[in-house]
Structure 1
Amino acid sequence: MKIHFVGHASIVAECSDMSILMDPWLSGKIFNNSWTLRPEPVLDPALLDRIGYLWISHEHPDHCHFPTLASFPDSFKQRITILFQTRDSAKMLAAFKGLGYQRFRLLPHREIVPLTDEPTSTRGTKLYCYHAGLMDSALAVIDDQQVMLNANDARISTSECRLILKDVRHVDVLLNQFSLAAYAGFEPPERYLPERALQVLRNVSEVHRALDAKVTIPFASFIYFSSEDNKYVNPFANTVSDAYNYLQRQDQTAAVLYPGDDYEVGSAHDSSQALQRYAALPGWDE
């Protein structure tokens, strides 16, 4: 299995018999212009022809970005199958149909389902969807003996990790959010936000440990807070280097990808170039 990192929370999982695009947000601002992508995503147009499925984890616009979904060619919309959890599916499928998508498949909670016309087949890619919280979901992609779990920002607890591990048996690579996304606004922020940011890193490590993951890819936090109302959060946000270094200190393996990079599941990965590219980005204040 190969993972193509597009940007923020979006990847393409290339399996032996199919490819899945996940949670694409390719341009523009969201949440009333208060989140901006950093850096810009990279989606190789050549990948579109190989994509057979599009998974949307939940309704938040950094995962379900309607302008991006609308921007894909009509031929793509007519050909691919959108994957979504069974919860709250009626309104979501209606929205997708309004954008021109025609094929859909709903994923039940905690069931391993094959993407094949032969339900009893032991070969081919299989999916496992875990419904988390009130609206989120995580997706495991199982290709032969390799398992990739996309936890995005589902905030899976360690007890939920044990359920997932019981179902999928092992996790080769975990994708997990590594920085701040929500804040209740307690004052002063310099008192509360550093601990909140550290807790996110602790959670990344705890989930890695609870799933016995071989590798964690930090993602789903490649934004900066870009309005007058929330820019004060930026100095306290974790960088991808913070996440990488924290996991290293816990003797846990991390792989850092820059938009456009690939990761071969089960192979050694050198994160140094990606880390240098992130470090060279203009600061949020610039």
Structure 2
Amino acid sequence: MRIISTGHAGLLVETREGSVLCDPWFNPAYYGSWFPFPDNSGLDPSVLGKADYLYISHLHRDHFDPEWLRRHMSKRATVLLPDYPVPDLRDALEEIGFRSFIVTRDNEITELDGDLRVMITTVASPADGEIGDSAIALDDGQVRIFNQNDARPIASRPIEAFGPLSGHFLQYSGAIWFPMVYEFPDRMKSTLGRRKRKNGMSRALQYINQYGAAQVFPFAGPPCFLDDDLFHLNDFANSDDNTFPDQMAFLDFLTEQGVQNAHLFLPGTVVELGRDGSFAIEQVPQDVIDDIYQDRTRYMRAYQARSRPKLDAERASWPSDTSDLLAQLKEWIEPLLAHADHICAGVNGRVLFDVRPDGAEQQPEHIVFDFLDRRVKHWAGEDCRYAFRVARPLVEDLVRTREQDWVNHLFLSCRFAAQRKGAYNEYVFSFLQAMSPRRLEYVERYYAEQNEEAEFARAGEFIVQRHCPHLGADLERFGVVSRGVLTCQLHGWQFDLATGNCLTSDDRKLVARFEPASGRCDLPSISVLDQPATAGRGDA
């Protein structure tokens, strides 16, 4: 099996039975904020576009590049489609011109030509991708690999059973706007950034240890920011509080943790994996590697200069006129709020959009999404749980295109500022990425099913719900208890066992009750590092 990096989360997998192109991304994403890092524009699209199969993991624009697919990808390719609850990905690919689809089933092996087999693992909570994220395992009869990209699989056993794996390709640097856009004090922002960076790399290490592949190839991040307004977000100095560590930083981290089988994987890197566990790497030239990493600022400035026409074209495409935003938003959003029972109860407050004009002659407009009385209105000084300050041209674009996912179009751009009162509230962001009747129906059904939690596990002297209230991770596999706090290691959310209160957010609660170990012992067990210091304080 031959695997070629196409940059970011992109792979071209070549086998005797056919080739699979995964997540090709070449054009700027999220209002021109994200560019592939390192620059992958030198790769030949005519070679990549001839692949027999196409796999798009999800609709994030750093994985789904409609412009590139329209121009360069053969429409004769067969699309390997993840098992998603809404058909948005298929609809988007059909609009581009693809007609041949193989609809896979979550965690089930699909036989392709000859010995080629695939298994696609999907996660489909409201917080995953654009209502879904996925990863793909491939087997050509000799070699098995797992392309995890930036998915966070909850059901791990099917992946482990698909192995043993010769290669594991995974993300280590998250797609995130927190804490950079929040108007926190600098010291607090630095502390939160340091924690986010460490958690992201530690989570990737956990996956590496869990799946035990013979060779590991970090990829799928980070992007780089070439717009002048965002240039400071790049990690020029390997700062421990920057949330976008590069491959070199992650490889150094793995070395410190005793991992010796991880390799640099840049656009153009070629990996050959053999039946007997053999492998060979054809790395890009050393002078290219030195150019990227020895003087990051110089490399980025040169990349920025080459990309200036794209940056200018992006800004020129934003609306320059104004419309009646309030009237349009009322017409669009209020019917959704009327049917968002679980979301409105979860938000239990108001969200303010401070829409800022480009010119000084215009006044800002303050528009509230009120989840209490389910209205969209002008702000009259009411208390708001969240506040987002956004340039008017971007809001005009979102409204005119009826963009149903503001989270993965506006927020990932980092072209906004945010404030919040209290802890993170997942329901706010679930609504802002489900702003269509079809998506909203799925999200409401998801939360209704979550509220019917019935499975339990033992955590020391407590009985708790088995699945994390955040995104449903199996706490038997991902949970660990220390000093009375249960941590879900999949996403880092923490819960106080004595009260059930979430220490990460105020919109979730863990079902937990004190019950000494002499009670039910027939339950799955969650790992306990020590005896809970808070045991016996109360039940929840």
CA-to-partner distance for each residue in 1:171-203, whole Å, 9 max, x for gaps?
211111121321333523212112211211111
Which residue of the other structure, out of 125, 144, 147, is the alignment partner of 2:116? Answer: 125
Equivalent residues in 2 for 1:84-163 (5 A)? 84-88=81-85, 90-116=87-113, 123-134=114-125, 135-156=132-153, 160-163=155-158
Tell me whether 1:181 sits opposite 2:175 in the alignment: yes
What is the match of residue 465 of structure 2?
none
CA distance in 2, matches of 1:51, 1:230: 35
SS in 2 for 1:148: strand
Q: Output the amino acid matched with 2:120.
A: C
Q: Is the 8 A contact 2:271 2:282 kept in 1?
A: no
Structure 1 residues 270 and 250: CA distance shift in structure 2, 3 A: farther
Give the fraction of aligned pairs with identical amino acids, expressed as a percent: 25
User: Partner of 1:242 in structure 2?
Assistant: 249
SS across alignment from 1:105: strand
- Cα displacement (A) at 1:105: 1.3
2:5–2:270 Cα contact (<8 Å) kept: yes
Q: 1:217 to 1:233 in 2, by over 3 A?
A: same
Q: CA 1:262–1:269 in structure 2 vs 1: closer, same or farther (change >3 Å)? A: closer
Cα deviation code 1:53-111 (max 9, x no counterpart): 010000100001111111126xx11x111112121453322222221212111111011
TM-score by length of 2: 0.47
**SS of equivalent residue, structure 1 residue 68:** helix
Q: Hey, what's the Cα distance between the residues in 1 that align with 2:96 and 2:20?
A: 19
Deviation at 1:46, TM superposition (A): 5.5
Moved more, 46-55 or 236-245: 46-55
2:292 & 2:156 partners in 1: Cα distance?
30
- The structural deviation recorded for 1:244 is 1.2
SS in 2 for 1:127: strand
Q: Give the match's secondary structure for 1:113.
A: strand
Q: Normalising by structure 1, report the TM-score.
A: 0.86
The CA deviation string for residues 27-69 of structure 1, in whole angstroms up to 9 with x for no partner, is 2x21122212222224334534751001000010000111111
In the alignment, what sits opposite 1:70?
Answer: 70
- Residues 1:5 and 1:59: Cα distance change in structure 2 (over 3 Å): same
- In terms of mean alpha carbon deviation, does 37-46 or 191-200 score higher? 37-46
What is the alpha-carbon root mean square deviation over aligned residues? 2.4
Residue aligning to 1:276: 290
Q: Which residue of 1 aligns with 2:267?
A: 259
Give the CA deviation at 1:3.
0.5
Deviates more, 1:38-47 or 1:176-185: 38-47
The aligned amino acid for 2:25 is: W
Q: Residues 95-154 of structure 1, C-alpha deviation per residue, up to 9 Å, x if partnerless?
A: 2222121211111101111113xxxxxx51100010124300000011113111111111
**Counterpart secondary structure, 1:92:** helix
> Counterpart of 1:164 in structure 2: which amino acid?
I
Task: Quote the Cα distance in structure 1 between the aligned partners of 2:160 and 2:267.
Answer: 29
Find the aligned partners of 2:21 and 2:168 in 1 and give their Cα distance.
16
Structure 1 residue 20, shift from structure 2 partner = 0.5
Q: Computing the radius of gyration over CA atoms, which structure comes out larger, 1 or 2?
A: 2
Question: Structure 1, unaligned stretches of length 5 or more?
Answer: 117-122
| Bigger relative contact order (CA 8 A; separation at least 6) | 1
Supply the distance in 1 between the matched residues of 2:35 and 2:56 (Cα, whole angstroms).
20
Cα distance in 2 for partners of 1:26, 1:179 equals 18
Query: Residue 120 of structure 1 aligns with which residue?
Result: none
- Partner Cα separation in structure 2 for residue 66 and residue 241 of structure 1: 30
Match of 1:195 in 2: 195
* 1:99 counterpart letter in structure 2: I
Confirm or deny: 8 A CA contact 1:114 1:126 kept in the other structure: yes
Three-state SS of the structure 1 residue aligned to 2:31 is coil
**2: distance between equivalents of 1:228 and 1:277?**
21
Partner of residue 32, structure 2 = 33
Instruction: Measure, in 2, the Cα distance between the counterparts of 1:139 and 1:51.
Output: 16
8 Å CA contact 1:173, 1:214 repeated in 2? yes
SS state at 1:170 partner: coil
Contact 2:121/2:153, CA 8 A, preserved across alignment: no
Paired residues in the alignment total: 273
Distance, in Å, in 2 between the alignment partners of 1:37 and 1:129 is 25
Q: 1:151 is paired with a residue of what secondary structure?
A: strand
In structure 2, the CA distance between the partners of 1:98 and 1:240, relative to structure 1 (3 Å rule), is same
Query: Is contact 2:122-2:153 (8 Å) kept?
Result: no
Instruction: State the shift of 1:155 in Å.
Output: 2.4
Offset at residue 232 of structure 1 (A): 4.7
Comparing 264-273 with 192-201, greater Cα deviation is found at 264-273
How far, CA to CA, are the matches of 1:277 and 1:113 in structure 2? 42
